[in-house]
Each structure stands twice: as C-alpha cells, then as structure tokens.
Amino acid sequence: MQSPREILFDIWTSAGGGPSALDALTLTGDEPQLPSSFRVAAAAQVGVAATGLAAAEIWKMRSGEAQEVAVDMRHAVVECRSERYLRLDGKPPPPAWDAIAGIYRTRDGGFVRLHTNFPHHRDAVCKVLDCRPERDAVQAALMQWDGEAFETAAYAGGAVVAFMRSHEQWSTTSQARALAGLPLISITKIGDAAPKPWPKGDRPLAGIRVLDLSRVIAGPVAGRTLAAHGADVLLISSPELPAIPWLSIDTGRGKLTSFVELKNEQGRATLRGLLAQADIFSQGYRPRAIAGLGFSPEDAARINPGIIYVTLSAYGAAGPWAERRGFDSLVQTATGFNHAEGQAAGVDGPKELPAQMLDHATGYFMAFGAMMAKARQAREGGSWHVEVSLAQTGRWLWNLGRVADGLAADELKEDGVQPFMEEIDSGFGALRSVRHSARLSKTPAYWARPAMSLGSHPPQWPPRE
C-alpha cells in the first residue's frame, strides 16, 4: 500500500502542483487511529495536508516566502469528526439523527438506509411507504418492498435513501462505470479571462472572496478550510431552507452568513452582485437546480470572468445518478462500504465507517481544488471549474486498500482528543471545538470570525485592504 506521502504526491501532482513542494511537508502518526478496516486516518491526513500545502504555495506566490507544513494523523482524523467534539457552553451535541433515520430490512432480505433529518425528506419517505413516521410502521411497510425497487421509487418521490450493495454489486452499476473514467478532483478551464492579481494581505487567502452555497458537512467544511487560511467566506442560506443547527455552528467558524432568497428575482439579483465581486463560488446544488436559478458554471463565468466555480455532488458529474441527491451515510451504503465493514466486523448487516469520511475528505478536496485553480488563474488567467463528489472520494478511499485488524483499534478517548481542542467565543456562547490540523510555520491557520446564527450579516462583502 502507498504511504500517506505517496498518496498525497499523486493528488498534488495531478492537480498541477510541483513535486518539490512536498519537501516542506511533515506527516506524523500511524494507522490505524480509529476502528475501521478502511484507511480513514490516512484519508483524513492526506485531505488536510493537500489544503495546507496549497495554502503554503499560494503564500509563496504572494510573498515569495516559503514555509513548512505539518499534519499529524490523529489531529486530522479528530478534525474529520469535529461535529462530535463540539461543545457549546460545555454541553455535547444533541442526537444526530431523526427518529426514523437509519437501517431497515426489506422483503428480499436486503437492507436500505433512510436519511430523514430534513422534514421534507421524512415526509417523502412516509408518502412512498404510505405509513406513519414511526420506526415500527416504517419497517412493516418496507417488508412489502424489495430493496432496489424501493430505492428507485423513493428517489422518484423526492426522498433520499440507499439500498445496501456490496462493492461488487456497486461496481457493476452504470453509475460506478461512469465514475471510473473521472478523476478524483476535476479542474477544467471553462472560459477566458485575464489573470487577477492577488489582493493585499498577510495570510494566504487574505482578500479572497468565497461564496459558500452549501449545507450539512462537505461543502461547509470546504468553506471553513478556506476561512482558516484567511479567505472572506460568505455563507448564503435562506430561512426557508432546513438546516442542522449543530453542523451549522461547527462549520460556520470563520464565516459571514447571510440570507438571500433565490426563489425571487430580487434575491437572484443580490447573488449576481455578490458573484460579480467574488473569487470562488462553491456550491452543492444539483446541476439542473442551480442552472435553473441562473448560476451554472457558464453563467458564473459570464457574470465574473476569472471565477473559480466549485461543484459538489453526491454521485458524480456523469452517469444516470448525476442528478441524484445523497449524503455521506447513503453513499457509504450504496457503494459497498457498509457491507464490507459489516463483513469485516462479522455482523449480519451494515456497519458504518467511524467518521463521515466521505463528507470531510471531499470538503478538503473542494478547498484544495479551489486553491489550486485560483493559483492557476493568477498565473495564466481563465475561468475554472472544480468538480468533486462523495462517490468519487469513496472510490479513491476504497482503492487505498484495507487495514489488517483495523477494527481492533481502540476508539479515541477524551485524553486523545483534548490536545487538539480550543476554546473560542461565538454568537451562540462559549465553544470548545477542534483546531485546524494543518500547521503552517509562517501563516498559522485560524478562524478570525466567530460562528454566528444563519443570516446574521448583510449580503455584502467586507472591504479589502
């Protein structure tokens, strides 16, 4: 198996990074860090290290000053579970899942996973099943369905669910075959534009403006990471959109947050004005949905030539599932991780990875791709489109190999997490949260803005230096 440094080398050079940049990188720690048969700790370290290295290279472009970058594996994997360790006024997070979310058996002896944390998704499941929103009622209804047939019907009905497949079953699907021809991180030129000079500032991304149109974990982690290196990140939401408050707090560190209603022309005009002055547009809408609002990659490049447009999807940009909604837990289920982890643990049924690793790793790949594209724009101009997906990150993680006896590893204890925590103020009260795990010797990563309630700021950019 490749070492974390070798894994990172492949990602770094495939995105256009010079091999010599890795000379300044120190990686510490050994696998496994969490009980899993998959290389979740290596994935965490590599994802964070890619972003730290990109930030260091941008600082070198801006200032001429080189610096050292270091990432500890345990710190990185703790950060990839940051939502678990967040404490608000000393209190732990509330239960993470809706009452009917989770795993159920189906008539054909298979398993399906339901994601019902948003009320409209829960309502859609119950409408398809024609049952009450209670676990026993849902299970009884699902015994009238075969797993894959329910998955298809549920998606058609606006629900988000996954039929549990083995990796072999997943590999035979047309969606898996479509992903096999795509890179882990796609960075493509989508328009002509002059190079944009770097603004003034004393941090790698100081003065860089990022519009963040994302929810839950992956996209928000990308924005949080860019903010850790000094970007002005403006999270755009709406009071009409459901949110998971604890995740909004955890991933809201470092960001401004505004409400803009994209269902009306006034809101779309506001967003166009913000986009015209932005450097990076990061979003997790489905392609037809964002295009229907007038903010496709091509639209953005017309509004603001030189934009870096970042697209997050669940199952990839190509194939029959390209428009399909999804979350980390569902992609784990659909693509074989839950089946394989269950087999490795000797359990009858699915077993989850010990972190939302597809979400977190994909978030770091989004931030990494955005920074590498921005550096390229500064050198040669152009508008650029960065594409990542949870399923493609899953494909990458699977191909890293398995950890012998990895499930025998001890779960992290409190004293193993404590060194990576910090106490900060927020708009919610005193937060105890995980520090960013990439350590840069000249431009330390930190969040200059506190997490605030959604919609706390006006929809406008702060002035540049």
pLDDT for 296: 95
Could you give the angle at the alpha carbon of 229 between the alpha carbons of 273 and 15, nearest 5°? 85
| Percent above pLDDT 70 for the chain | 100
Other beta carbons less than 10 A from residue 373's beta carbon: 27
Peptide bond into 32 cis (omega under 30): yes
Whether 315 shows a pLDDT value over 80: the answer reads yes
Please give the helix or strand (H or E) that residue 190 lies within, else none. Answer: strand 186-191
Whether 351 shows a pLDDT value over 90: the answer reads yes
How large is the average pLDDT for residues 112-120? 89
Lowest mean pLDDT among 70-79, 227-236, 317-326: 317-326
Whether 94 shows a pLDDT value over 90: the answer reads no
Tokens 């019907």 belong to residue? 153
Rounded Cα distance, 454 and 441, in Å: 33
Q: Which two tokens stand for residue 219?
A: 């996209």
Rounded Cα distance, 402 and 408, in Å: 13
What are the pLDDT digits (tens) for 125-162? 999 999 999 999 999 999 999 999 999 999 999 999 99
* Band of pLDDT at residue 445, cut at 50, 70 and 90: very high
Of 106, 96, 110, 166, give the one whose Cα is nearest residue 359: 96
Tell me which DSSP letter residue 287 carries: H
Rounded Cα distance, 250 and 460, in Å: 23
How large is the average pLDDT for residues 161-165? 95
Whether 287 shows a pLDDT value over 90: the answer reads no
How large is the average pLDDT for residues 379-398? 97
pLDDT for 464: 87
Rounded Cα distance, 422 and 122, in Å: 36
Could you give the angle at the alpha carbon of 344 between the alpha carbons of 338 and 350, nearest 5°? 25
| DSSP 3-state of 340 | helix
pLDDT for 215: 85
Whether 465 shows a pLDDT value over 80: the answer reads no
How large is the average pLDDT for residues 299-318? 96
Residues 6+ away with beta carbon under 8 Å from 431: 86, 87, 88, 249, 253, 423, 424, 425, 450, 451
Strand partners, 283: 213, 311
Helix (H) and strand (E) counts in the chain: 19, 16
Highest mean pLDDT among 180-184, 211-215, 276-280, 287-291: 276-280
pLDDT for 417: 96
What are the sequence ranges of the domains in the chain?
4-94+185-317+354-440
Residues 6+ away with beta carbon under 8 Å from 383: 189, 190, 191, 192, 193, 300, 301, 304, 305, 306, 307, 308, 309, 377
pTM comes to 0.96
Residues 6+ away with beta carbon under 8 Å from 332: 338, 352, 353, 358, 394
Is the Cβ–Cβ distance between 386 and 370 less than 8 Å? yes
Whether 93 shows a pLDDT value over 90: the answer reads no
Sheet holding 69-72, edge to edge: 25-28, 69-72, 438-440
pLDDT for 288: 82
What is the phi/psi pair of residue 293, to 5°? Answer: -85, -5
Rounded Cα distance, 227 and 251, in Å: 10
86, amino acid identity: L
Tell me which DSSP letter residue 351 carries: -
Question: What residue ranges in 201-306 does DSSP mark as E strands?
Answer: 209-213, 232-237, 255-259, 280-283
Tell me the CATH class for 4-94+185-317+354-440: alpha beta
Strand partners, 258: 236
pLDDT for 397: 98
Is the Cβ–Cβ distance between 203 and 227 less than 8 Å? no
**What b/e readout covers 27-54, taking b as 16+ CB neighbours within 10 angstroms?**
bebebbbbbbbbbbbbbbbbbbbbbbbb
- H, E, C per residue of 402-447: ECCCHHHCCCCCHHHHHHHEEEECCCCCCEEEECCCEEECCCCCCC
Rounded Cα distance, 82 and 436, in Å: 10
pLDDT for 207: 97
